[in-house]
Each structure stands twice: as C-alpha cells, then as structure tokens.
Amino acid sequence: MDPMDIVGKSKEDASLPKATMTKIIKEMLPPDVRVARDAQDLLIECCVEFINLVSSESNDVCNKEDKRTIAPEHVLKALQVLGFGEYIEEVYAAYEQHKYETMQDTHKSVKWNSGAQMSEEEAAAEQQRMFAEARARMNGGVPVPQPEEQHPETDQRSLQS
C-alpha cells in the first residue's frame, strides 16, 4: 500500500494508541509471555494495515450498493470478500455486544438528563440524599446526622413564642 493511499494522508498520520494496543496485546497472551517493543510496534502496524484494508473494501461494497454511508453489513461483507469469513460470527457478536453496551450508556445518560425535568425542590432533595449517601460512604457506612435545615417559617414561629 502506498503511504498516500489513506485519503490523502501520510501513513504516519494513521495510527492507534500505543498504550491501549500494548494493553490488548498483553491481555491476549499468557502472563509469563513477554513481547519485545519491536514486536509490539509491528503488531500495531499490522492492525493499522488491517483496518485500512477492511475500510477500503467496506467502502467498495458500499459504493457498489450506491450508498453513501458504510454500514455494519458492508464491513461484514468486506470481511467475507477479503477471505476472513471465518471471523464474521465473532465480529458480529462483538458488534451486538457493542450495541448493547451503547444502549445501556444511552439509558444512563437519559436518566441523568431527566433531572432537568425535576422541580427545584425535587432537585434539592435529591442532592441532599446524594450528599448523605456520600457522607455515609466516606464514614465507613455510618450515617452522619445532618444539622436540621432552618426554614424561615419555623424561625419566625420560634421568635414569636
């Protein structure tokens, strides 16, 4: 592959994070196996080349279908065309897992964003509850009594008595 084949960018511009790749490499091997730095760099370069190859073929599949956006189906078809058909089932399972985790993250963010629909009093009460939980965790699970909140009405009544 020519260094300028990657959409007008030099080969050096396309890379993967070394720390992440090193972690993945170490996780895939038994703990007693060490990998030389040169071998790690070579594996990372192989991953970049593989991604470029699959991306290019996925783009070709997409173009043949007169589509403008590469879809997961295009990637799976590209793997088949490139001779990696034996991995399609595993890749599809990883894709489904990714979709599930993304959906879970979306539900969590919706839950947090729904706080904007709370009244000010509800938000203050929720904040106090969360503070109490945090204090309890910081004190080894022992709840710490909070000083009572002072309300203007009760302050006025106590002054009038």
Please check whether residue 154 lies inside any domain of the structure. no
Cα(51)–Cα(91) distance, rounded to whole angstroms?
A: 13
Specify the number of domains making up the chain: 1
Q: Which of the pair, 3 or 101, is modelled with greater confidence?
A: 101
* Closest listed residue to residue 47, CA positions, set 15, 69, 90: 15
Q: Residue 30 is part of which domain span?
A: 18-85
Classify the C-alpha dihedral 24-42-8-56 as positive or negative: negative
pLDDT band with cut points at 50, 70 and 90 for residue 111: low
Please check whether residue 93 lies inside any domain of the structure. no
pLDDT band with cut points at 50, 70 and 90 for residue 146: low
Q: Which of the pair, 98 or 10, is modelled with greater confidence?
A: 98
pLDDT of residue 81: 97
Q: At how many degrees (to 10) do helices 72-81 and 37-64 cross?
A: 110
Please check whether residue 77 lies inside any domain of the structure. yes
Please check whether residue 35 lies inside any domain of the structure. yes
CATH of the domain at 25: 1.10.20.10
Please check whether residue 159 lies inside any domain of the structure. no
Does an H or E element contain 72, and which?
helix 72-81
Please check whether residue 132 lies inside any domain of the structure. no
User: Does residue 145 surpass a pLDDT of 60?
Assistant: no
Helices and strands, number each (H, E), in the chain: 6, 0
Please check whether residue 92 lies inside any domain of the structure. no
Q: Write out pLDDT tens, residues 33-88.
A: 999 999 999 999 999 999 999 999 999 999 999 999 999 999 999 999 999 999 99
Cα(153)–Cα(155) distance, rounded to whole angstroms?
A: 5
Does an H or E element contain 79, and which?
helix 72-81
Please check whether residue 30 lies inside any domain of the structure. yes
